[in-house]
Amino acid sequence: MKLWGGRFESGPSEVFQRFSWSLHFDRRLFAADILGSQAYARALARVGILQDSEAQAICDALASIPEPPADAPDEDIHTYVIRLLKVNAGALADKIHTGRSRNEQVSLDTRLWLRGEIDRTTALLRGLMASLLDFAGKHTDTIVAGYTHVRRAQPVTWAHYLLAYFEMFARDHQRLLQARARVNLMPLGSGALAGSGFPVDREGLAGELGFDGVTLNSMDVSADRDWALDYLSAASFCAIHLSRLAEDWIFYSSDEFGWLDLGDGVTSGSSLMPQKKNPDSLELIRGKCGRIFGSFTSLFTTMKGLPMTYNRDMQEDKEPLFDAVDQLTLSLEMTRGVVETTTLRPAPPLQAAEDGWLVATDLAEALSRAGVPFHQAHQLVGRLVLESVSQNRKPSEWTGEALHAFDPRFSPEMARFMNPAEGMKTRTAPGGTAPATVRAALAAAHSRLESMS
């Protein structure tokens, strides 16, 4: 069935059908299309186009429509629903499209569907954040090497490292909620582009369908998909963070690092090499990120330069949006699965923190606290490191006396800063890695997470 026909002498060609029909993917909007159509039937009754009993009959008929079968011969989900409505409700169904266009219907359906998916995404994100906090709770005093330029930089606690990701995901959560606010506006009553010729109660429809408000310009409704791009943008940020965590952990679980032990359930073996335990889950999380960016780029590019208002190009919004939702939600679930089954072996990262002169900054700061101007302290510790490296001498091999003998500006008691746990205690400014500060940040993160749900 087609929703037009009077104007045409022949139907679409076979190739045009295959090329343009979208039911095989927009079937995902089925539930939203039914809900929206029921609400619209009630709205039509309120303006006298339908009797109350007719609206009720239409709603019942809509409720009994099954999911489209694989071989449904319809252009898109809206056409399918109308065809079945006619089967179930007869001529009454001819009134449902009064003043309504598929252009607003597709916006409504996609918004309804996406709103639900945003709620699912944010719930999964909060679950992941909770698992990061659990892991952090076990390691508020576990020292690891922190890196810049993939070079050992300064000691931090593992909890502090995990809380960095908590912050990134908290911002992603915020961005998703901001996207939700722009998605959750009710477009019905916009017609094809010029607005409805019937005084439908748009606010009432919005309230009934759980929207926060109504869209304010009918041409804007037909023309734009920026709210879908808002989701794709937030999804891309979140995917970046997942991908970077995956990248870290692929390295941290390698033989070279030996910090992390990934659970058997999230790793794969090799068909040839018996010893292998590969981090495929993390690699796929990293890989999905590229795919999500692809969806983001795809829709951005589709929208660029489209003339006002609706153009059929916009049907290309759905597959990237659906795929991004699928890949992001799966990646969030997978990442949580990895976090929950990963353990940290404390010895290798501690050794990395002890051996690599990560305490150099702590020493320079101890000197400057004792009155040595920082640039001179920096210079002095630099010389100490140079000398130690050439003698292959680790920080722990310096006694207080040896240090004082190296340069009298070192007091013997400064040797305690050769232990990475010492300097760390000084980093108490909010946001720093002092274990007491991290414990407070962790407690705060728990209550922030609580208030997000």
The one-letter amino acid code at 271 reads S
Q: Is 322 in the site for ligand ARG (CB under 6 A)?
A: no
The answer to the question of residue 312 lying near ligand ARG (CB under 6 A) is: yes
Closest distance of CB 95 from ligand ARG, Å: 20
ω before 215 within 30° of 0 (cis)? no
State which of positions 142-181 bind ligand ARG (CB under 6 A). none
Helix axes 102-137, 158-183, angle to 10 degrees: 160
Site string for ligand ARG, 188-207 (x = CB under 6 A): --------------------
149 tagged catalytic: yes
Is 222 an interacting residue with respect to ligand ARG (CB under 6 A)? no
179 or 193: CB nearest ligand ARG: 193
In the complex, least distance from residue 48 CB atom to ligand ARG, rounded to whole angstroms: 27
22 binds ligand ARG (CB under 6 A): yes
AA letter at 252: Y
**Interatomic CA distance for residues 340 and 334, integer angstroms:** 10
Q: How near is the Cβ of 339 to ligand ARG at its closest, in Å?
A: 38
Nearer to ligand ARG, 124 or 314 (CB): 314
Nearer to ligand ARG, 106 or 136 (CB): 106
Choices 5-13, 124-132, 308-316, 400-408 (CB under 6 A): range interacting with ligand ARG: 308-316
Residue 391 burial class via C-beta count within 10 angstroms: exposed 0-12, middle 13-18, buried 19 and up: exposed
The answer to whether residue 298 forms part of the interface with ligand ARG (CB under 6 A) is no
- Phi/psi for 427 (5° steps) reads -85, 65
Alpha helices in 259-418 (DSSP H): 280-303, 318-341, 347-355, 360-369, 374-391, 400-406
Stretch that binds ligand ARG, among 32-40, 133-141, 312-320, 357-365 (CB under 6 A): 312-320
In the complex, the smallest distance separating the C-beta of residue 22 from ligand ARG, rounded to whole angstroms, is: 5
Number of residues that bind ligand ARG (CB under 6 A): 10
What residue number has its CB nearest to ligand ARG? 315
Q: Does residue 314 belong to the site contacting ligand ARG (CB under 6 A)? A: yes
- Which one of the listed residues 270, 375, 396, 411 is annotated catalytic? 270
Contact stretch for ligand ARG (CB under 6 A) within 139-147, 256-264, 311-319, 390-398:
311-319
Q: Least Å distance between CB 101 and ligand ARG?
A: 7
Cβ-in-10-Å burial (0-12, 13-18, 19+) of 429 comes to exposed
Q: Is 392 exposed, middle or buried (0-12, 13-18, 19+ CB in 10 A)?
A: exposed
Query: Quick one: 23 or 414, whose CB is closer to ligand ARG?
Result: 23
Nearer to ligand ARG, 22 or 281 (CB): 22
Q: How far is CA 129 from CA 172, 177, 188, 247, in A?
A: 11, 16, 37, 18
* Residue that has been written with the tokens 């414990």 in this structure: 439
Residues 413-432 within binding reach of ligand ARG (CB under 6 A): none
Q: State both tokens at 68.
A: 């489209």
Alpha-carbon torsion, ordered 19, 20, 24, 28, to 10 deg: 150
Give yes or no: 270 in active site: yes
Shortest reach from residue 97's CB to ligand ARG, in Å: 12
Residues 70-129, interacting with ligand ARG (CB under 6 A): 76, 102-103, 106
Output the six-digit token pair for 243: 């991908």
Residue 156's nearest CA partner among 418, 419, 424 is 424
Please identify, using beta-carbon distances, which residue of 76 and 117 lies nearer to ligand ARG. Answer: 76
Q: Rule CB under 6 A: is residue 398 a binding residue for ligand ARG?
A: no
Residue type, 406: F
Closest approach of ligand ARG to the CB of residue 278, in Å: 41
Ramachandran area for residue 7 (φ above 0: left; ψ -120 to 50: alpha; else beta): alpha
Q: Considering the candidates 10, 149, 390, 447, report the single residue annotated as catalytic.
A: 149
By beta-carbon proximity to ligand ARG, the closer residue of 191 and 395 is: 191
Q: Three-state SS for 48?
A: coil
Identify which of residues 144 and 228 has a Cβ nearer to ligand ARG in the complex.
228
Is 283 in contact with 246 (CB distance < 8 Å)?
Answer: yes
Q: How far is CA 263 from CA 27, 161, 273, in A?
A: 37, 20, 19
315 binds ligand ARG (CB under 6 A): yes
Q: Is 310 in the site for ligand ARG (CB under 6 A)?
A: yes
Structure tokens at 439: 């414990």
The residue among 22 and 190 lying less far from ligand ARG, judged by its C-beta, is 22
Instruction: Decide if 278 contacts 321 (C-beta within 8 A).
Output: no
SS3 assignment, position 185: strand
**Residues forming the site for ligand ARG (CB under 6 A):** 22, 26, 76, 102-103, 106, 310, 312, 314-315
Residues classed as catalytic? 149, 270
